Copies of this chain bind each other. A is one copy, B any other.
């Protein structure tokens, strides 16, 4: 098969997974949840699904991507997702994008943009704006109190035999 046709097949497979994430997002609204969904794919197969469960479970961290990452890691019995692709119905918020970096997947794909999320009333864009600001310029009071004990945990970590890096 010529490379361009192969590329088109790959794009078609990606669109199928992304449509599943969007379908989950829309279904979740009917179930009383937020309009976000996510699937995680490994070797062409969906291994985990997630939808936004913030209000359903009283957990502000239960965004679709976080739920799916936790489920995929539980399935794989690891704390990383190397070789996996993450498909999100919407551009991940900074919390979820941070979680994705820690999980180390191969790629992340999304359908709606953060601007479209903002238009629908979600704060992602504002948090993206806040995170790079110096502490004193953020709308959230963020205070550095460099107490003497602060590096004790890191020193204990450096001394710890057989520690598990992550």
**A113–B144 CB distance below 8 A:** yes
Within 8 A of B (CB), among A113-137: 113, 116-117, 119-121, 123, 127-128, 130-132
**B112–A150 CB distance below 8 A:** yes
Residues of B within 8 A of A99 (CB): 60-61, 95
- Copy number in this complex? 2
1/0 contact trace for A130-156 toward B, CB 8 Å? 111000000011111111011111101
Interface centre among A28, A89, A90, A103 (most CB of B within 10 A): A89
Name the distance in Å between A87's Cβ and chain B's nearest Cβ. Answer: 9
**Residues A22 and B149 in contact in the complex (CB < 8 Å), given A58-B74, A97-B131, A102-B95:** yes
**B79–A141 CB distance below 8 A:** no
Number of interface residues of A (CB under 8 A): 90
Residues of B within 8 A of A154 (CB): 35, 112, 116-117, 119-120
Task: Other than A59-B70, A60-B69, A60-B166, give 15 A-B pairs with Cβ distance below 8 A.
Answer: A11-B145, A18-B147, A29-B157, A36-B153, A60-B73, A90-B150, A93-B98, A95-B97, A95-B99, A102-B123, A108-B140, A111-B150, A113-B146, A116-B150, A119-B154
